[in-house]
Amino acid sequence: MTEDSRSRELAAALAATRKRIAAAEAAAGRAPGSARLMIVTKFFPAEDLARLVLLGAGEFGENREPEAGRKVAQVRTELPGADFTMDMIGSVQRKKARTIARWARRVQSVDSVELTEALATAATKALDDGHRTTPLGVLLQISLDGDPARGGVVAEQLPALAEQVRSHDGALSLDGLMVIAPLHGQAAEHLAHAQRIADDFRRDHPEAVELSSGMSGDLETAVEFGSTCVRVGTAIMGPRPLVSP
């Protein structure tokens, strides 16, 4: 595949995905743009991230460090001044908090007191060192089925974790919640449940406006149930290669 044909392929997939989101917003009676697209570039090279930035995409997610940090650095070097953000959406080892705090707009997968402390320390340092200029955004990851393997905390644990994040005002900002729908059962039931949890949560934390939910396969359902950020990989990038580049 030539360079140009990959860009054309990404442009077509990006347009088709934007159309799906717009149709879902309209069907749900939601304002255009109220569900934003985050493109998940994991397992694809920095060149694809650069192509998408040049095509006008602005919000990205990655799930592994140091691969994520390397890609961001490469694109920032190749396209100086390019306007894009990268969120961390995968589970985070505490020892990687320091580098993640340098490039991530937000960490969407915060699910423990220990990780919150590590991110607060890391964000404070990144601010002091000039690696970032704004607090590190935090989304608390909800677990709908309590399965520890998939990460997240059950709804009962959210208030304490939220207080903890807010105690680091200045270093961290509590932006909302993230959910990965369990594979078993109906996506609509899971996503409706997540929306109820988010509605409750916002009563205590009105600033926490984000609900990151929905992926390539279920984004319409997620938009129906209040998603503000759909995380789309396969539908734009194509099937993931077996080996990370």
Ligand X SMILES: *Cc1c(COP(=O)(O)O)cnc(C)c1O
Q: Provide the token pair at 94.
A: 């505490």
Alpha-carbon distances, residue 85 vs 39, 103, 113 (angstroms): 10, 8, 25
Half-sphere exposure of 101 (CA within 13 A, CB side): 30
User: Residue 174: is it exposed, middle or buried by C-beta count within 10 angstroms (0-12/13-18/19+)?
Assistant: buried
Query: What amino acid is encoded at 187 in this protein?
Result: A
Q: 112 or 121: whose CB is closer to ligand X?
A: 112
Instruction: Convert residues 216-235 into a mask of x (bound to ligand X by CB under 6 A) and - (unbound).
Output: xx-------------xxxxx
Closer CB to ligand X, 146 or 217, in the complex: 217
Size of the site for ligand X (CB under 6 A): 14
CA dist 134 and 144 (Å) reads 31
Provide the minimum distance between the beta carbon of 141 and ligand X in the complex, in angstroms, as a whole number.
Answer: 9
The smaller minimum CB distance to ligand X, of residues 17 and 195, is found at 17
- Report, in Å, the least distance between residue 157 CB and ligand X: 19
- Whose CB is nearest to ligand X? 233
CB-wise, 186 or 234, nearer to ligand X? 234
Q: Which is nearer to ligand X, 187 or 232 (CB)?
A: 232
Looking at beta carbons only, is 45 or 90 nearer to ligand X? 90
CB atoms within 10 A of CB 86: 23
What share of residues in the chain are helix, strand, coil (percent, to 5)? Answer: 45, 15, 35
Phi, psi of 230 (to 5 degrees): -95, 135
Q: How far apart are CA 241 and CA 245, in angstroms?
A: 9
Reference 136, options 107, 166, 94; nearest CA is 107
Interface of this chain with ligand X, residues 113 to 152, rule: CB under 6 A: none
The CB-of-206 to ligand X minimum distance in angstroms stands at: 25
The answer to whether residues 174 and 211 touch, using CB atoms and an 8 Å cutoff, is: no
Which 36-95 positions form the footprint of ligand X (CB under 6 A)?
40, 42, 63, 89-90
Choice between 26 and 183, CB closer to ligand X? 183
Choose which of 180, 187, 191, 222 interacts with ligand X (CB under 6 A): 180
Stretch that binds ligand X, among 4-12, 49-57, 189-197, 212-220 (CB under 6 A): 212-220
Name the minimum Å distance from CB 216 to ligand X: 3
The footprint of ligand X (CB under 6 A) covers 40, 42, 63, 89-90, 180, 215-217, 231-235
